[in-house]
Amino acid sequence: MERGIVMIENNRYLQRLNDGRNIWLDGDIIKNVGEHPAFKGTVHTIQSLLDLQTKTGSKSLLTYKTEEGLDANLSFFVPRTHEDLEKKRLAYQHWADQTFGVMSRLSEYSRSIITGWFANRSEYEDAHPGFSEKIESYYYQSRNLDLLSTVAGHDPQKDRSKTLVEKKPGILHISRKNREGIYVRGAKMIATAAPYVDEILIFSYHKRGENEREFANVFFVPVNAKGLHIVCRESFADGREEDHPLSARFDEMDAVLIFDDVFIPWERVLVQEDPEFAWKLRCDAPSSLLSQHQTVVRLVSKLESVAAIGNELAETAGATQFLHVKEKLAELIIQLETIKALLLASENKAKMHNGIMLPDQDFLTTARNLGTRFYPRALEIIQQIGAGGLLQVPSSLKELEGPIGPLLKEYYQGTETSAEDRTRLIKLSWDLLGSPLASRHELYERFYSGDPVRTYAAQYTNYKKRQNLVDYAYEILK
Cis peptide before 264 (omega within 30 of 0): no
Q: Does 24 engage in binding with ligand FAD (CB under 6 A)?
A: no
What DSSP line would sit under 397-462, residue for residue?
GGGGGSTTHHHHHHHT-BTTB-HHHHHHHHHHHHHHHTSHHHHHHHHHHHHTTS-HHHHHHHHHHH
Q: Does 160 engage in binding with ligand FAD (CB under 6 A)?
A: yes
Q: Which helix (H) or strand (E) holds 303?
A: helix 285-315
**Which C-beta is closer to ligand FAD: that of 104 or that of 417?**
104
Q: Which is it for strands 255-265 and 269-271: parallel, antiparallel or unpaired?
A: unpaired
Shortest gap between Cβ of 94 and ligand FAD (angstroms)? 22
* Other Cβ atoms within 10 Å of 41 Cβ, number: 19
Q: Which positions from 238 through 267 interact with ligand FAD, judged by CB under 6 A?
A: 254
Q: Does 154 engage in binding with ligand FAD (CB under 6 A)?
A: yes
Distance (Å, whole) CA 186 – CA 202: 12
Out of 165, 387, 443, 470, the only residue in the binding site for ligand FAD (CB under 6 A) is: 443
E-assigned strands of 66-104? 71-73
299, 319, 331: which is closest to 103 by C-alpha? 299
Distance (Å, whole) CA 478 – CA 471: 11
Q: Does 456 engage in binding with ligand FAD (CB under 6 A)?
A: no
Binding mask 44-83 for ligand FAD (x = CB under 6 A): ----------------------------------------
Q: Does 220 engage in binding with ligand FAD (CB under 6 A)?
A: no
Binding mask 173-192 for ligand FAD (x = CB under 6 A): -----------------xxx
Q: Does 442 engage in binding with ligand FAD (CB under 6 A)?
A: no
Out of 33, 106, 151, 271, the only residue in the binding site for ligand FAD (CB under 6 A) is: 151
Shortest gap between Cβ of 159 and ligand FAD (angstroms)? 10
Residues that bind ligand FAD (rule: CB under 6 A) add up to a total of: 21
**Which C-beta is closer to ligand FAD: that of 157 or that of 321?**
157
Rounded to the nearest 5 degrees, what angle is found at the Cα of 330, between the Cα atoms of 324 and 331?
Answer: 95
Out of 450, 458, 459, 463, the only residue in the binding site for ligand FAD (CB under 6 A) is: 450
**Which C-beta is closer to ligand FAD: that of 63 or that of 99?**
99
Binding mask 99-118 for ligand FAD (x = CB under 6 A): ------x-------------
Shortest gap between Cβ of 149 and ligand FAD (angstroms)? 11
Distance (Å, whole) CA 310 – CA 285: 37
Out of 56, 157, 161, 321, the only residue in the binding site for ligand FAD (CB under 6 A) is: 157
Stretch that binds ligand FAD, among 15-23, 113-121, 370-378, 441-449 (CB under 6 A): 441-449
Written in H, E and C, the secondary structure of 363-386 is HHHHHHHHHHHHHHHHHHHHHHHH
Q: Does 149 engage in binding with ligand FAD (CB under 6 A)?
A: no
* DSSP symbol at 121: G
**Which C-beta is closer to ligand FAD: that of 106 or that of 248?**
106
Q: Does 347 engage in binding with ligand FAD (CB under 6 A)?
A: no
Shortest gap between Cβ of 105 and ligand FAD (angstroms)? 6
Residues shown for the chain = 478
**Which C-beta is closer to ligand FAD: that of 63 or that of 204?**
204
**Whether the Cβ atoms of residue 192 and residue 229 lie closer than 8 Å to each other:** no
Shortest gap between Cβ of 441 and ligand FAD (angstroms)? 8
Distance (Å, whole) CA 342 – CA 355: 23
**Which C-beta is closer to ligand FAD: that of 64 or that of 456?**
456
- Per 3-state DSSP, the chain is made up of helix, strand and coil in percentages (nearest 5) of 55, 15, 30
Q: Which positions from 289 through 318 interact with ligand FAD, judged by CB under 6 A?
A: none
**Which C-beta is closer to ligand FAD: that of 205 or that of 266?**
205
CA distances to 138, 154, 157, 227, 277 from 24, in Å: 28, 20, 20, 13, 33
Distance (Å, whole) CA 193 – CA 24: 13
Out of 69, 129, 169, 453, the only residue in the binding site for ligand FAD (CB under 6 A) is: 453
Residue closest to ligand FAD when measured from CB atoms? 192
Distance (Å, whole) CA 305 – CA 96: 11
133, 250, 154, 264: which is closest to 199 by C-alpha? 264
Q: Does 150 engage in binding with ligand FAD (CB under 6 A)?
A: yes
Q: Does 42 engage in binding with ligand FAD (CB under 6 A)?
A: no
- Side-chain half-sphere exposure of 60, counting CA atoms within 13 A: 2
Beta bridge partners of 414: 417
Out of 451, 456, 459, 463, the only residue in the binding site for ligand FAD (CB under 6 A) is: 451
Q: Does 429 engage in binding with ligand FAD (CB under 6 A)?
A: no
- Contacting positions for ligand FAD (CB under 6 A): 105, 150-154, 157, 160, 190-192, 254, 440, 443-444, 447-448, 450-451, 453-454
